[in-house]
Structure 1
Amino acid sequence: MNHLRALVEATGPSGSEEDVVQRVVKAARPYADSLDVDAFGNVIAVRRAEGDKARRCIISAHMDEVGFRVYKIGADGFLRLEKVGGFDDRILLAQRVWIRTESGERLLGVIGCKSAHLLADGDRSSVVPYASLYVDIGARSQQEVLDMGVAVGDPVGFVGSLSELGRGTGRYTAHALDDRAGCAVLLTLLERFHETPPPVTLVVVFSVQEEVGLRGVEALARHLQGDVALALDMTAADDTPEFGDSHLRLGAGPTVKVMDFSTQAHPAIRRGLLAAAHKQNLPVQREVLKGIGTDAGALQYLGQGVATGAVSVTNRYTHSPVEVLDSRDLEGAVSLLEGFLHDLPDLDLRFVALNDEA
């Protein structure tokens, strides 16, 4: 959990992932044969197989988080926000946020709300739209805000650190688990192949701007070469009291993607992941969730098209400051991917085995 703890402490809404990039590069460099940061900000770490003709597997997890940018600095010293990524306006009131200035300093602010003593009847049953929200950083005037170094366009993210729920539960909460948890898994996977080369050449991508349309990986897909591509992301658990029968549960293992709105997983990849799980007696869940998308949606267009799938880790309260995951699902994702990579040299990647006599 050390990687995850360090990563969630950084503020990095889409397009402003610099602090996360620095932490990822520092953590990945000792375990990569080559490492590059492209013009978009994507980090590409390569761990080569021994043989030159080995297959290449690309696995991507995104570094960015949902957040905001400063849209306007009022004469009264309050900041107005523009959304970056999608989330529910209901969760925003009374949240603590970081404003990251051009100098890299982080300033604490709070999203203001009416005091309980001043609420009208209509206030109690309505949702304040984000365009009406404001951030209080303690300034008395616009000039005080400017003197602090805040400017229009500065990134704004939720405040939070990784903390265990209860005691000994193995379940942790933080903002930006989506998808810093995936990045932590990939860093751990690189570490697993530190002493011994992987059975295939492993191209690990820590991508940017996933939350605003898979933009980082879409740029990479135009020139990356690979035989297999996987996304590693979070997915929405529905095992809380608001729902009936759950489809995806915390602690029930990582998920093997079947479909979402961005990807129909390649049948060979599904078979390979499920076989790797079976071989290890590793519990996994099958994910069918139309309301989500991952980097796999862009990776599938590599070259003339490549066998693509995804592994997900279930996450409660997604796109909020209090996302929750189970550490056993993270450990399961590492084991699943490692097993899949060991099986990949001999995996039949054809979409369907054709009968030559037909």
Structure 2
Amino acid sequence: MEKEQEIKMLKAFSDANSTSGFEGEFVKLFTETVKDFANIKVDGMLNAYASKKENKAGRPVIQLDAHSDSVGFITQAVRPNGMIKFVPLGGWVKYNIPALRVRIKNRDGEYIPGVVATKPPHFMTEAERNNVPDVADMSIDVGSSSREETLNDYKIDTGCPIFVDVKCEYNEKSGLFFGKDFDDRFGAAAMADVLETLDGEETPFNVVAALSSQEEVGLRGAYVTARTVKPDLGIVLESCPADDTFTPDWLSQTALKHGPMMRDMDTSFLPNPKFQQYACDVADKNHIPYTRSVRTGGGQDGAAIYYENGAPTIVIGIPVRYEHSPYCFSAYQDFKAAVEMTVAIIRDLTTEKLASFSQF
């Protein structure tokens, strides 16, 4: 894919409205992007399966994975004054939520702009100025003045999804994207790019790119995709939190413009060590930069894929500053290196090398 096309795709993917349980808009965008070089299926959970058109029966299967959802919110109830009480979908910290601009998809499918309301400082007590309220005490204002107006005129009620409303930008000079939901839209874009790069190419493996739903609320979609695909090998393309703005250089393991992050550990996952080292060796041979990371927090779809079938699985992460917040930075060169590493692994892999990952 040409750079201009990639940038356009990454911006469109970031701008899409897609939170856990409400991934339809992005699933449609992703499947439209890859339909010319993959066979598409979508299940009732909105997991999408994009199978390489050259796949043939009887060959081992590589499952690529990225997830379609991002952190967001859902309407819990409408307060008497018309304000919306909401619940987070995924891992938010309360400090990142006040004054956030959002879009609420109402019962008619229309997007209503709103803001996480904050009391003007003129009316705050000293205690209020120095504390962030709990999420349960926050509200979203759409301009309504009563519960009836929100319910009947704005048509917003319990269950309506709420999305972060931020437009993605790309700075050609710095090579950085600035926007929302890079976790995991950039992983999904990398997966689409890999499929297009391999289009028309024969490999000894079948390749199925699974876009899984509901990762942010418990890796739910990936358990389903792994049972469906039954992979012999898993490669997860994840956008991962960068640590380079608050960690000393000697300890930083996920930095912008240092290449993708190969995850050696998180709270849910330890990769197959032979596959992990093989992937790093392939990257070294092809002069693709990367870092390795041992994390004491976080989790991702690799755990579900690995647990479900025992297939050797690795995670190739694209560094993102300020993940799970409304505003993120990510570098084009890290995205591109993740694509190149994935393609290099698929092209280099043989059935003998696959078998070696299970030997001890």
Q: Which residue of 2 aligns with 1:237?
A: 242
Residue 48 of structure 1 and its aligned partner are, at CA, apart by 4.6
Paired residue type of 1:41? L
Q: Which residue of 1 aligns with 2:284?
A: 278
Provide the rounded CA distance (Å) in 1 between the counterparts of 2:287 and 2:208: 27
Relative to 1, partners in 2 of residues 1:290 and 1:132: Cα closer, same or farther, differing over 3 Å?
Answer: same
Provide the rounded CA distance (Å) in 2 between the counterparts of 1:126 and 1:209: 31
Relative to 1, partners in 2 of residues 1:121 and 1:17: Cα closer, same or farther, differing over 3 Å?
Answer: same
Q: Greater shift after overlay, 14-23 or 101-110?
A: 101-110
Instruction: Give the CA RMSD over aligned residues.
Output: 1.6
Q: Which residue of 1 aligns with 2:105?
A: 100
Relative to 1, partners in 2 of residues 1:228 and 1:48: Cα closer, same or farther, differing over 3 Å?
Answer: farther
Q: Which residue of 2 aligns with 1:76?
A: 81
- Indicate conservation of the 8 Å contact 2:223/2:308, yes or no: no
Q: Which residue of 2 aligns with 1:119?
A: 124
Q: Greater shift after overlay, 152-161 or 167-176?
A: 167-176
Q: Greater shift after overlay, 262-271 or 221-230?
A: 221-230
Relative to 1, partners in 2 of residues 1:122 and 1:220: Cα closer, same or farther, differing over 3 Å?
Answer: same
- Indicate conservation of the 8 Å contact 2:54/2:200, yes or no: no
Residue 164 of structure 1 and its aligned partner are, at CA, apart by 2.8
What residue ranges of structure 2 are gaps of 5+ in the alignment? 1-6
Paired residue type of 2:321? R
Q: Which residue of 1 aligns with 2:3?
A: none
Residue 264 of structure 1 and its aligned partner are, at CA, apart by 0.7
Residue 5 of structure 1 is aligned with which of 11, 19, 32?
A: 11
Provide the rounded CA distance (Å) in 1 between the counterparts of 2:139 and 2:168: 26
Residue 108 of structure 1 and its aligned partner are, at CA, apart by 0.3
Residue 163 of structure 2 is aligned with which of 157, 160, 179?
A: 157
Provide the rounded CA distance (Å) in 2 between the counterparts of 1:261 and 1:234: 16
1:254-293 matches, cutoff 5 A: 254-293=260-299
Provide the rounded CA distance (Å) in 2 between the counterparts of 1:197 and 1:140: 61
Provide TM-score, normalisation by structure 2. Answer: 0.93
Q: Which residue of 1 aligns with 2:4?
A: none
- C-alpha deviations, 1:154-191, integer Å up to 9, x for none? 000111121135x6101111111000111111111111
Residue 125 of structure 1 and its aligned partner are, at CA, apart by 1.8
Relative to 1, partners in 2 of residues 1:49 and 1:349: Cα closer, same or farther, differing over 3 Å?
Answer: farther
Residue 338 of structure 1 is aligned with which of 343, 347, 350?
A: 343
1:188-267 matches, cutoff 5 A: 188-240=193-245, 242-245=246-249, 246-267=252-273
Paired residue type of 1:61? A
Provide the rounded CA distance (Å) in 1 between the counterparts of 2:55 and 2:93: 48
Provide the rounded CA distance (Å) in 1 between the counterparts of 2:203 and 2:332: 24
Relative to 1, partners in 2 of residues 1:348 and 1:203: Cα closer, same or farther, differing over 3 Å?
Answer: closer
Paired residue type of 1:243? T
- C-alpha deviations, 1:43-77, integer Å up to 9, x for none? 00100546644331001000101111011112211
- C-alpha deviations, 1:254-287, integer Å up to 9, x for none? 0112111111100222122112211211111002
Residue 296 of structure 1 is aligned with which of 295, 302, 309?
A: 302
Paired residue type of 1:205? A
Provide the rounded CA distance (Å) in 2 between the counterparts of 1:118 and 1:98: 27
Residue aligned with 1:25, SS? helix
Relative to 1, partners in 2 of residues 1:48 and 1:269: Cα closer, same or farther, differing over 3 Å?
Answer: farther
Residue 353 of structure 1 and its aligned partner are, at CA, apart by 4.0
Paired residue type of 1:276? V
Provide TM-score, normalisation by structure 1. Answer: 0.93
- Indicate conservation of the 8 Å contact 1:162/1:173, yes or no: yes
Q: Which residue of 1 aligns with 2:318?
A: 313
Provide the rounded CA distance (Å) in 1 between the counterparts of 2:161 and 2:128: 29
Provide the rounded CA distance (Å) in 2 between the counterparts of 1:97 and 1:30: 33
Provide the rounded CA distance (Å) in 2 between the counterparts of 1:275 and 1:112: 51
Residue 22 of structure 1 is aligned with which of 15, 23, 28?
A: 28
Residue 347 of structure 1 and its aligned partner are, at CA, apart by 2.0
- Indicate conservation of the 8 Å contact 1:77/1:140, yes or no: yes
Residue 199 of structure 1 and its aligned partner are, at CA, apart by 4.5
- Indicate conservation of the 8 Å contact 2:82/2:144, yes or no: yes
Q: Identity across aligned pairs (percent)?
A: 29
Residue aligned with 1:339, SS? helix
